[in-house]
């Protein structure tokens, strides 16, 4: 999160200040990549680029605080992901469903071979292995840092439904991890 | 026994039954990655660790595309919506352009607006750019500039400036009455606003081009054979110029730049006076030069 300087940063970026846009980009790009890679493995960077292009073009039409900006960016990202999913299905490309991620190999010895990024990727992959609606709710809550109302607005669900999905996802994760711990390694707080 | 049963905490050998139901507060702390794994309820320590890993700060790998993103921003951004926020020290200005006081630049956060600012701002920017262009032509008319310089600038000013890369030249292009002089480098590409873009381009091209215009091969080629009278040299060049930048009403005439968009392109009114005030064709027929020519 950028914090109190966000309005000034946003205003500068809207006026074409590259450094200000870089601040916005650095703040949101990692979360965008993790979110998009969970839904379109291997295409996260392309989708993130498309997302930023849309964001830049419509930057002057945005009004709101930092949380609203995050929610807006992730809404754009979600639309990009859905559009891509539709394109790939229309062109009969091989689509990788979220369920296929359940068999992703996790690092056996993260302490020796993994770095922090891999640990983050493995964690996101573990979350993405949940049922799609649960995975999306958890990713938007945890990775994007959005609250229940914002996630409900993005996903088109009611807030109560979002809470239920999140609880089920946490319980499912707990069950999976208690049976087979997959993600270890260094954990860094926010 | 159910996984959320009473005795689940007493059966650590069966981890699936060691998971207790989460209360709302604990779930919220988990989902915000603020719950320490040591403080997590039974069965959720790994979940807390996993969610913290998922919400970990950015790695360098995830930030490798910053240069490309900034490039895309540079080419995609529709341009400033208010007076430019660039520091005024990037280019020296002979006369500082009028603008808002320091600290009030830029659109306030939360407000919305169209790209390019309000209509008044865009019109003013166009007017300022036309004013700069008009001043140059006026100088040429007065004989202060070589005709070649005018020809080079009016024919290719905008392309030169793009190649020279002077995107921050807007403010110095402000003409009289310009509230947002030369409001940025993106005007030509994005909006086709001849005034806005060419205003910035005008200063960008004039400064580096003038010293070298006399020695440039293109300059002599353009000016050779042209009479010093500006009426015949200016008209086709300016027409080409406005056509190049697709200005809807981009006038190159200094006297008309305050009303961009209202003036028809192919009729610069200043062209007529030199032609009308010199009714020489009729006497020229009787002149010996023409007779000799025939």
pLDDT in tens, B191-216: 333 333 333 333 333 333 333 333 33
Give whole-number Cα distances, A36 to A155, A168, B20, B38, in Å: 14, 22, 31, 30
Token pair of B236 as six digits = 């086709």
The predicted structure's pLDDT at residue B211 = 34
The predicted structure's pLDDT at residue B225 = 39
Taking all residues of chain B, what is their mean pLDDT, rounded to a whole number? Answer: 51
pLDDT in tens, B3-27: 444 444 444 444 445 678 889 999 9
Q: Which of A156, A155, A130 is nearest to A140 (CA)?
A: A155
Chain A residue closest in CA terms to B114: A60
The predicted structure's pLDDT at residue B82 = 52
The predicted structure's pLDDT at residue B244 = 38
B52: pLDDT strictly greater than 70: yes
B72: pLDDT strictly greater than 70: yes
Q: Which residues of A touch B61 (CB under 8 A)?
A: 117
Tell me the percentage of chain B whose pLDDT exceeds 70: 20
Does A116 sit within 8 Å of B43, measured CB to CB? no
Helix H segments across B77-193?
A: 119-141, 147-164, 187-191
Q: Which of B18, B22, B70 is closest, CB to CB, to A18?
A: B70
pLDDT in tens, A8-28: 999 999 999 999 999 999 999
- B100 against B22, higher pLDDT: B22
The predicted structure's pLDDT at residue A67 = 94
Q: Which of B185, B173, B188 is nearest to B124 (CA)?
A: B173
The CA distance from B260 to the nearest CA of chain A, in Å, is: 24
pTM, full prediction? 0.49
The CA distance from B178 to the nearest CA of chain A, in Å, is: 19
Tokens 């922090």 sit at which residue?
A: A116
The sign of the CA dihedral B99, B101, B103, B108 is negative
Token pair of A162 as six digits = 């979002």
Burial of B212 (0-12, 13-18, 19+ CB in 10 A): exposed
Token pair of B62 as six digits = 């995830």
Mean pLDDT score, B81-85: 51
Q: Which of B265, B80, B1 is nearest to A16 (CA)?
A: B80
pLDDT in tens, A56-103: 999 999 999 999 999 999 999 999 999 888 887 776 555 566 666 555
pLDDT in tens, A112-139: 444 455 588 889 999 999 999 999 999 9
Q: Which domains does chain A have, with CATH numbers?
A: 1-93 (1.10.1740.10), 104-185 (1.10.10.10)
B31: pLDDT strictly greater than 50: yes
* B100 CB-near residues (< 8 Å, 6+ apart): B83
A143: pLDDT strictly greater than 70: yes
Residue B129 and residue B185 in contact, taking contact as beta carbons nearer than 8 Å: no
Residue B129 and residue B179 in contact, taking contact as beta carbons nearer than 8 Å: no
Residues of chain A numbered 42-101 and touching chain B (CB < 8 Å) = 45, 48-49, 52-53, 56-57, 59-65
Chain A residue closest in CA terms to B50: A123
The predicted structure's pLDDT at residue A7 = 94
The CA distance from A75 to the nearest CA of chain B, in Å, is: 18
How many CB atoms within 10 Å of residue A160? 10
Q: How far apart are CA B85 and CA A180, in angstroms?
A: 54
Domain boundaries, chain B: 8-54, 119-269
Does A119 sit within 8 Å of B53, measured CB to CB? yes
The predicted structure's pLDDT at residue B253 = 42
The CA distance from A162 to the nearest CA of chain B, in Å, is: 12
Mean pLDDT score, A161-174: 95
Q: With cut-offs at 50, 70 and 90, classify the pLDDT of residue B227.
A: very low
B110: pLDDT strictly greater than 80: no
The predicted structure's pLDDT at residue B272 = 56
Q: Mutating which of B15, B52, B55 best tests the A interface, going by the most A Cβ atoms within 10 A?
A: B55
Residue A80 and residue A47 in contact, taking contact as beta carbons nearer than 8 Å: yes
Q: Which of A133, A123, A129 is nearest to A101 (CA)?
A: A129
Does A17 sit within 8 Å of B66, measured CB to CB? no
């Amino acid at each position: 999160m950028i914090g109190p300087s966000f309005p000034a940063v946003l205003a500068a970026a809207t006026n074409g200040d590259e450094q200000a846009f870089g601040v916005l980009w650095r703040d949101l790009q990692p979360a965008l990549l993790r979110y998009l890679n969970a839904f379109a493995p291997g295409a996260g960077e392309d989708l993130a680029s498309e997302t930023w292009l849309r964001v830049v073009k419509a930057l002057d039409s945005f009004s709101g605080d930092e949380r609203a900006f995050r929610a807006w960016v992730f809404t754009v990202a979600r639309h990009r992901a859905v559009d891509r999913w539709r394109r790939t299905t229309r062109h009969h490309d091989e689509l990788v469903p979220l369920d296929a991620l359940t068999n992703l190999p996790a690092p056996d010895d993260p302490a020796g071979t993994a770095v922090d990024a891999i640990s983050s990727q493995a964690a996101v992959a573990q979350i993405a292995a949940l049922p799609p609606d649960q995975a999306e709710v958890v990713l938007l809550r945890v990775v994007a840092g959005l609250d229940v109302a914002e996630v409900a607005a993005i996903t088109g669900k009611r807030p109560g439904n979002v809470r239920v999905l999140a609880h089920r996802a946490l319980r499912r994760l707990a069950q999976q991890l208690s049976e087979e711990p997959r993600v270890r390694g260094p954990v860094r707080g926010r | 026994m159910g996984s959320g049963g009473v005795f689940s905490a007493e059966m650590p050998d069966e981890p699936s039954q060691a998971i207790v139901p989460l209360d709302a507060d604990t779930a919220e702390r988990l989902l915000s990655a603020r719950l320490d794994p040591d403080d997590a309820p039974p069965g959720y320590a790994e979940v807390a660790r996993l969610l913290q890993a998922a919400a970990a700060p950015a790695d360098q790998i995830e930030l490798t595309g910053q240069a490309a993103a900034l490039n895309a921003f540079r080419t995609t951004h529709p341009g400033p919506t208010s007076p430019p926020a660039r520091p005024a020290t990037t280019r020296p200005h002979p006369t500082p352009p009028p603008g808002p006081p320091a600290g009030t630049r830029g659109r306030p956060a939360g407000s919305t607006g169209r790209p390019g600012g309000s209509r008044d701002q865009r019109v003013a920017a166009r007017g300022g750019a036309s004013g700069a262009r008009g001043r140059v032509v006026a100088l040429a008319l007065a004989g202060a500039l070589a005709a070649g310089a005018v020809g080079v600038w009016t024919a290719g000013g905008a392309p030169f400036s793009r190649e020279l890369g002077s995107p921050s030249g807007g403010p110095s292009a402000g003409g009289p009455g310009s509230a947002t002089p030369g409001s940025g480098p993106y005007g030509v590409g994005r909006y086709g606003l001849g005034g806005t873009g060419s205003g910035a381009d005008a200063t960008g091209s004039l400064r580096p081009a003038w010293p070298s215009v006399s020695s440039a091969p293109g300059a002599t080629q353009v000016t050779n054979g042209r009479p010093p009278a500006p009426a015949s040299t200016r008209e086709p060049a300016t027409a080409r110029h406005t056509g190049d930048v697709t200005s809807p009403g981009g006038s190159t005439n200094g006297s008309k730049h305050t009303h961009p968009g209202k003036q028809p392109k192919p009729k610069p009114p200043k062209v007529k006076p030199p032609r009308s005030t010199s009714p020489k064709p009729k006497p020229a027929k009787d002149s010996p030069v023409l007779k000799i020519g025939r």
